[in-house]
Chain A
């Protein structure tokens, strides 16, 4: 359970209206294992930020906290100027109720490593389900938008197929379309190509680059694809052991990193590929 932060910190944070995502002294631990140590960081609207670093460094946890799949042990998270898992009541920060959580969460979409399409629904229904049930769109409206998105990801002819009939790359493109169907302000990408066969990776990354170039959606990506991070991101954050070791624009971070830890990591991961 999230502990309640003191009011002063909360109000100070709330005054910073510019950032779309803001972590304030966020601590997350699983048992004795501290995954995030008082993490502070923020993302501006429309910014593309890639999180890199060794596994277990807490990158994915950041996305999962934002998607409310995990709760922070302490600290606050704001999305679009609103607290995510807290709400203000009588000048104090209290745990958010389900309604508040839903409202803030609607602005965020997520694409998972394992796609997580609903296997009991056809491809198009995977895309229309949430817009109809959550945004209150009519079925016709949602289906039209769904078809446009399938067009965008190059899978319009698969609208009537079941997810199990698609390749991993196709499933992931459908999952991207499903997240976009909710018209989120923020898109979270959690190692979206890690479960794909090598020959399918380029197609999915190409699609994400197109989306990055043609929209102003804020993107937060956890990735091991350094080429993708270099091409897409405005800023790269190097994580290790629950803290940000270094953050810089990709040209700087990949070509002239300041920290030995970053150099070692990049050498290990680039030397391998």
Chain B
């Protein structure tokens, strides 16, 4: 028996691709949640409302200083005890999204802090309502600056999706494990799974680096 059998490798591709699709779903939905919730957290923290902004700070610290795996178990196994039952993919997306939202919140904060004080002052001098200061002046300047950092968050999340295996989500790695244990041949499935990750996350990283250079030029 060869260490690598091409025929076997091709035969398991459909299974792996099904897993890849799930990985994609989790990444896209999780990112959408992380990007939106992170912005909300960043804005609430800056709102200056004492209880809300301290509560947000505490939440961010709590989530960032506990393992993602624990949070995944928490959402999937403990929330049902409070009457919230989610299927495994939904629970996984929720855990990933909330976890990464605490990182994107910090990224947004850095972007907002980088908007020069003069921009806020000009907006005040023109009496712009604060909702418009955010949507028209501050965020359009803050977000493009941090797009590369947000992109890196998405790439990191993509590579963490396999953790959802722990609650039974059959992502790319989940499928690979399934195939491997059915056939007792682990080399091909795990190698291919690794290759799929590399093939997608490397170009994405290159793209982010290019974006970084462009943002660097623009500012």
Which residues of A are at the interface with B, using a C-beta cutoff of 8 A? 67-69, 102, 105-106, 108-110, 112, 114, 116-121, 129-130, 133-134, 178-179, 182
Give Cα distance in the complex from A102 to B126, angstroms. 10
Number of B residues near A (Cβ < 8 Å) is 17
Residues of the A chain whose Cβ atoms lie less than 8 Å from the Cβ of B122: 112, 116-118
Asked whether A116 lies within 8 Å of B136 as measured between CB atoms, the reply is no
Kindly state whether residue B137 has any CB partner on chain A within 8 Å: yes
Residues of the A chain whose Cβ atoms lie less than 8 Å from the Cβ of B116: 114, 116
Kindly state whether residue B140 has any CB partner on chain A within 8 Å: yes
How far, in Å, is B179 (CB) from chain A's closest CB? 50
Asked whether B121 lies within 8 Å of A134 as measured between CB atoms, the reply is no
Asked whether B136 lies within 8 Å of A179 as measured between CB atoms, the reply is no
Kindly state whether residue B125 has any CB partner on chain A within 8 Å: yes
Q: A118-B137, A120-B141, A129-B136 are in contact. Are A106 and B119 (CB under 8 A)?
A: no
Give Cα distance in the complex from A105 to B128, angstroms. 11
- Which secondary structure dominates where chain B touches chain A? helix
Residues of the A chain whose Cβ atoms lie less than 8 Å from the Cβ of B127: 102, 105-106, 130, 134, 182
Q: Return the chain B residue nearest A64 by Cβ.
A: B121
Binary per-residue interface labels of chain B (101-133) against chain A in the complex, 1 for a CB within 8 Å, 0 otherwise: 000000000000000101101111111110010
Which of B118, B119, B121, B132 sits near A133, CB closer than 8 Å?
B132
Asked whether B129 lies within 8 Å of A134 as measured between CB atoms, the reply is yes
How far, in Å, is A183 (CB) from chain B's closest CB? 12
Q: Which of B118, B125, B132, B140 has the most CB of A within 10 A?
A: B125
Give Cα distance in the complex from A109 to B121, angstroms. 12
Which of A116, A120, A129, A130 sits near B121, CB closer than 8 Å?
A116
Give Cα distance in the complex from A189 to B116, angstroms. 19
Q: Return the chain B residue nearest A63 by Cβ.
A: B125
Q: Return the chain A residue nearest B121 by Cβ.
A: A69
Residues of the A chain whose Cβ atoms lie less than 8 Å from the Cβ of B125: 67, 69, 108-110, 112, 179
Q: Which of A109, A110, A117, A118 has the most CB of B within 10 A?
A: A118
Give Cα distance in the complex from A118 to B116, angstroms. 11
Residues of the B chain whose Cβ atoms lie less than 8 Å from the Cβ of A105: 124, 127
Q: A116-B118, A118-B119 are in contact. Are A129 and B128 (CB under 8 A)?
A: yes
Give Cα distance in the complex from A117 to B126, angstroms. 11
Residues of the A chain whose Cβ atoms lie less than 8 Å from the Cβ of B132: 129, 133
Q: Which of A67, A105, A133 has the most CB of B within 10 A?
A: A133
Which of B123, B126, B137, B141 sits near A182, CB closer than 8 Å?
B126
